[in-house]
Structure 1
Amino acid sequence: MSGGGRFAGVSGATVQRSRELGREMVLSRVRRLRSMALPIVQSAVAAGLAWVIATDVFHHKQAFFAPIAVVLCIGVGLGRRLRRVAELVVGVSVGIGVGDLLVSAIGTGAWQIALVVALAMTVSVFLDGGALITLQAGSSAVLVATLLPPGGHGGVNRMLDAFIGGLVGLATVVLLPGDPPGITRSHGQRIFAELAAALSGAAEAHTRRDAELAERSLSRARSTQQTIDDFRAALAAATEIAAFSPLRRRRRRRLGRYSTAAVPLDHALRNARVLLRRTVAAIHAGEPVPEPVLTALDELAGAAVLLGRELADGQEPVRSAGKLRETAVLLDLSQSAAPSGHSAHVVFAQTRSLTVDLLEATGLDHESALAVLPPPPAAEPGLGAQPGSDGAESTDSGTTDPRDDH
């Protein structure tokens, strides 16, 4: 191929890649907007309601702290613990109260602002000590001392406005929580899909002896940590909402299954990254992996998809557990054709570890999951244990890429 042809090919690939990245960016932002649509509506409606309560029911003039507290509470309440929402309400109220009382007595100015902030933060630390309550108390005190000088008995009213807004925000989060279990399910499905893609990618790369495919699969797997972090944050929020909201209590059992699977899934993704890294090394070194191991990887990918579907449907993961037990039989068969070479050994060991992880994700404890597998090969010198492993798996200690452990 001529130089011009090569450059044209590279340019075309670059343009295509840029288009794909642009499309993915737009889709990502649309998904983000869709996920935040309900909170935006909740914040808007609740802010108006808080204003009506503060002005029409309590007859407060300029009750702007009520809608401000609503927006802050609902915004923090999404994906965070309700304790944080309560901390925010207390912080706002402390800052407003201290600020109003002091500024009424000493006026405004540089040293007055410094004193107001110091005292507001001191009171908040004495009451709780949390970072959010302290910061919110300080910032609210600044607002009162600079932009909103007190007059008359406004201090108590402003503090009450903050409580009104906070209570309306809390009520909105608890009584109209949206669908945190649905968000958890969506994140969970994405994790299972990524895990399945990593495992099937490893099997295909070994079958085709395609190091480039293995590297692409590894690169994709390394980008999944944010997905698991988002899943765990959504799960924490959904579990808390289910505990407080009467509209979501029936989801507790389903969320409990996701809670059981969360840590093993994290381990499985980490082990999959290690497996893919050693897959690249094994292919470059010409180390073959026994066919039963590759079949087991494909079976694990199918079991991951099935487990994700069962959890999403609110079912006990019976079928996926059965499929994983069948995979354990394949691992027993593969020991009769032990892999040659260090990297191939690690691939085999990580496949065992992944089987344990997924069995634990179905609800088995660690010992019960280990009991499903055949005993590990007797001689695997230098192989260390991975989180969620059966004690025989390796991360190639000392040389593991840090990205594979995140």
Structure 2
Amino acid sequence: MHTTVEALTELRQRSRADLSDRWRRLRGSLLFAAQAGVAASLAWLAAHYLVRHPHPYFAPIAAVIVLNVSVGQRLRRAVELLAGVALGILLGDLLIYFTGTGPWQIGVSVAFVILACVFLGGSPTVIGQAASSAVLVSTLAPPQSGIYYSRFIDAVVGGVVGVLVLALLLQINPLTVMKRAAAPAFDCLAEGLRDCARALASGSLEQAQAALNALSDADSSITRFQDALADARETATLAPVRWRARVPLTEYVDAAPHIDHALRNARVLARRTVTMIEDGEEASPNLIASLQSAAEAVAVFVRELAAGREPDRTRELTLAAVALAGEAYRRGLDFSAGVVAAQVRTIGTDLMLATGVSDRATARLIHRAAGRVPRPSRSAG
């Protein structure tokens, strides 16, 4: 009886989790659904009233194809899909007109379209979409009394409408996208440094290994951050209503590669943290405090980016972390502890560069900070 109750409880929990996931994916698809609906309607209207085609079914098809495969990708991919759809329809119509219809003609038309796209230098996206379009025109409505140039025109009109909708209509705020995408990457770095500090303070090998594992799994968050950055930049460039976001996005663009480097260096630091505890090396209070200050610098940085503020507090905390690590090194550290201190300095360099400080100024500031003990500073209000 007890086992049955537990099983039913687990089933209800899984059902709620599954339903919650479905609603989350549904909310995430609302923008695409709205874009696809608007694009299909506009494509039909444009081909019907502007080009004077009575049944322009290829126009909404092309518009939806461009939007559907281009979700989360660059505008260049959408243009490639447009070229593939139009080229496949044009070449498919030509070949079927001269050879007739049938199973072998469909195969020949697909092979011909692929070879033509390869000869013209088409990408795999163009080749695949052109071949699919050739199959569509060969089977759905093959030409009977002439070459249907109207279908090629419909595809071009629909594809152009799809690209315009993708670029200009119903775009969410790119800064909102970046805030959501940046937070996991920054949080992973900050938590990793904070967990290493806790592990050294408590001498917990298990906690140090957990910090290393978490940092080793951070690649996906960085990848999502970089992908979101590319999409946000494209939106801010093409959508007039989002042009004001271009300058704030530049700060994310400048920070992204340095945060990636900082995460890589944090992994090295975490490995040495594990080794320190395994070898029984002593962790000085200054070394632990340097990790805590570096973690706080990362946490503050993502907030300052989101608020559009000059990252002065981030720089202050970063230099304090480097100064504490330098003092710990001067007082004497074992081998692995010395590597941890050196990695704090390297991560400090990454953070200073991420805040927009030049290479030369960063080198000077880091060198100066490593040679002094910081004075306690008031936290930002």
TM class, shorter-length: 0.7 to 0.9
- What is the rounded CA distance, in whole Å, between the counterparts of 1:22 and 1:352 in structure 2? 48
> Could you list the runs of 5+ residues in structure 1 that have no partner in the other structure?
1-7, 378-406
Query: Structure 1 length normalisation: TM-score?
Result: 0.81
Matched residue, 1:403: none
Correspondences of 1:5-404 after superposition (within 5 Å): 30-152=23-145, 155-176=148-169, 177-341=171-335, 343-374=336-367
SS in 2 for 1:247: helix
Residue deviations 1:278-327, cap 9 Å, x none? 21222122112222121111111111111101111122222212221222
1:368 corresponds to which letter in structure 2? A
> Could you list the runs of 5+ residues in structure 2 that have no partner in the other structure?
371-381
Q: Decide which moves more: 228-237 or 240-249.
A: 240-249
Task: Tell me: CA distance 1:309–1:67, structure 2 relative to 1, closer, same or farther (3 Å).
Answer: same
In 1, are the aligned partners of 2:319 and 2:365 still within 8 Å (CA)? yes
- What is the rounded CA distance, in whole Å, between the counterparts of 2:255 and 2:204 in structure 1? 32
- What is the rounded CA distance, in whole Å, between the counterparts of 1:263 and 1:20 in structure 2? 40
Matched residue, 1:395: none
1:264 corresponds to which letter in structure 2? H
- What is the rounded CA distance, in whole Å, between the counterparts of 1:17 and 1:134 in structure 2? 48
1:214 corresponds to which letter in structure 2? A
- What is the rounded CA distance, in whole Å, between the counterparts of 2:10 and 2:203 in structure 1? 25
Question: What's the CA shift for 1:355?
Answer: 0.9
SS in 2 for 1:374: helix
Question: What's the CA shift for 1:36?
Answer: 2.9
SS in 1 for 2:274: helix
Aligned residue pairs, count: 364
- What is the rounded CA distance, in whole Å, between the counterparts of 2:366 and 2:23 in structure 1? 44
Residue deviations 1:121-177, cap 9 Å, x none? 233234342221122111111222233322345631111111121111111122222
In 1, are the aligned partners of 2:294 and 2:348 still within 8 Å (CA)? yes
Residue deviations 1:61-92, cap 9 Å, x none? 54332222222222344332211111110110
Question: What's the CA shift for 1:31?
Answer: 4.4
Q: CA RMSD in A?
A: 2.8
In 1, are the aligned partners of 2:326 and 2:341 still within 8 Å (CA)? no
Q: Decide which moves more: 188-197 or 31-40.
A: 31-40
Question: What's the CA shift for 1:371?
Answer: 2.3
Residue deviations 1:26-49, cap 9 Å, x none? 766654443332122111222122
1:75 corresponds to which letter in structure 2? N
In 1, are the aligned partners of 2:97 and 2:144 still within 8 Å (CA)? yes
- What is the rounded CA distance, in whole Å, between the counterparts of 1:28 and 1:277 in structure 2? 35
Q: Percent identity over the alignment?
A: 38
Query: Structure 2 length normalisation: TM-score?
Result: 0.86
SS in 2 for 1:150: coil
In 1, are the aligned partners of 2:323 and 2:369 still within 8 Å (CA)? no
